[in-house]
Amino acid sequence: MISENMLLKNKLINNTGLLCFLLVVVIPFFAGLIYSLLYSFGLTGILSSGFTTRHASTVIHDGEFFSSIAFSFYIAAASIFISLLIAIPGAIVFTDNITKSKKAFFVYMPLAIPSIVTAFISFQLLGKTGFISTVAYHAKVINGLQQFPDLINDRFGIGIITTHVLMATPFFLIFFSNLVVSERLHDLSGAAASLGANKFQRLSRVVIPVLFKRGFATIVLYFIFVFGSYEIPLILGRQSPQMISVLIVRKMQRFNLLDIPQGYFSSLLYTLLVIILLLIFLKPGKLKA
């Protein structure tokens, strides 16, 4: 009788949790998608005048959307690659779990700073009249502040990438440090060594494959987070190309209200792209493999 009651209670908790998830996350998300779809094709909105493919056609043909997607992809890929390049060796080098050491404060601290604040810090550090430029000028490395290279609002998105690396590296360092401990990678590496594996073989065949396999989903999700970031590229990016979120918000807030459906269509395409990415990289079979 007691176990039947407990089963019922568990069932209630599971069902309620599922319903809440549906109501709070899934239904609003799909409702938003449907609304965007209707808005994009002129089927809703107070200024709509009936079905039209004009807005979709404009977004697809003017090239701005796709150059923005390509630029966002480049920024996300570069930021994640550099962060992993620093974080993985860092996690391996620190033999103890870094989150339990005294160094933890310096690793956690950047994670507590909002991205908009980090963007402003980068702006003050990397600008032509910023801190680094001024130090370089006083150290006579450059003859004038104008000689300092363009590191913000620049062509290659150096400012955006630097800021994302500053934020992502501590996150990945903590994440991989925990994995090294939980997966007992030092023990596994030691076992491989006792079987005759050299240092390179231990890293390339044991440590790094395990870290990547266990951390793949997190890396993909962080990639999507950087791909869609807003505040950092808004402050440190160029006017063209803009990262996708900045472009969508600009299109949503046009002076010409009749062009707002272009913003909805862009956001719809972007959402579909993210869903496709998730389906390709994070489908359950892949995660288990």
Partner 1 sequence: MFIFPRMKKGLRYIFLITFLTAIILSACSSHSDTPQKDPLQLTWSDILKEAKGKTVNLMMWQGDPQINKYMNDYVVPALKDSFGITLQISAGQGNQIVSILMSEKEANKNVSDIDMCWINGETFYQLRQINVLFGPFVNKLPHAKYIDFENPFIKYDFQEPVDGMECPWGNVQLCIIYNKEKVLSPPKNMNELADYVKQNPGRFTIGTDFTGLTFLKSLLIGIAGGSENLKGKFDETKYKKYSAQLWDYINRVKPYFWKEGKTFPSSVSQMHQMFAQGELYFTLSNNDGEVDNKVATNTFPTFASSYVLDSGTIQNSHYLGIVKTSGNKAGAMAVCNFMISPPAQLKKNLSSVWGDGTILNIEKLPPGIKSKFDSVQDRKYGPKRTDIQPKALMELAPEYMIRLNDDFRKYVIEK
Which of 53, 57, 129, 182 is close enough to bind partner 1 by CB under 8 A? Answer: 129
In the complex, minimum distance from the CB of residue 26 to partner 1, in angstroms, rounded to a whole number? 12
Q: How far apart are CA 55 and CA 44, in angstroms?
A: 13
User: Smallest distance from the beta carbon of 3 to partner 1, in angstroms?
Assistant: 14
Residue 36: phi and psi, rounded to 5, are -60, -40
Q: To the nearest whole angstrom, how small is the minimum distance from the Cβ of residue 77 to partner 1?
A: 22
Residue 16 makes contact with partner 1 by CB under 8 A: yes
* Residue among 158, 238, 245, 267 that touches partner 1 (CB under 8 A): 238
Which of these segments, 69-77, 100-108, 146-154, 174-182, binds partner 1 (CB under 8 A)?
Answer: 146-154
What tokens appear for 60 in the block? 């697809």
Q: Does 164 bind partner 1 (CB under 8 A)?
A: no
Q: Figure out which of the listed residues 82, 136, 145, 278 binds partner 1, where binding follows CB under 8 A.
A: 145
Q: Looking at 17, 205, 253, 286, which residue binds partner 1 (CB under 8 A)?
A: 253
Q: How many amino acids of this chain bind partner 1 (CB under 8 A)?
A: 34
Q: By the criterion CB under 8 A, which residues form the site for partner 1?
A: 8-9, 11-12, 15-16, 19-20, 22-23, 44-47, 64, 127-129, 145-146, 150, 153-155, 234, 238-240, 252-257
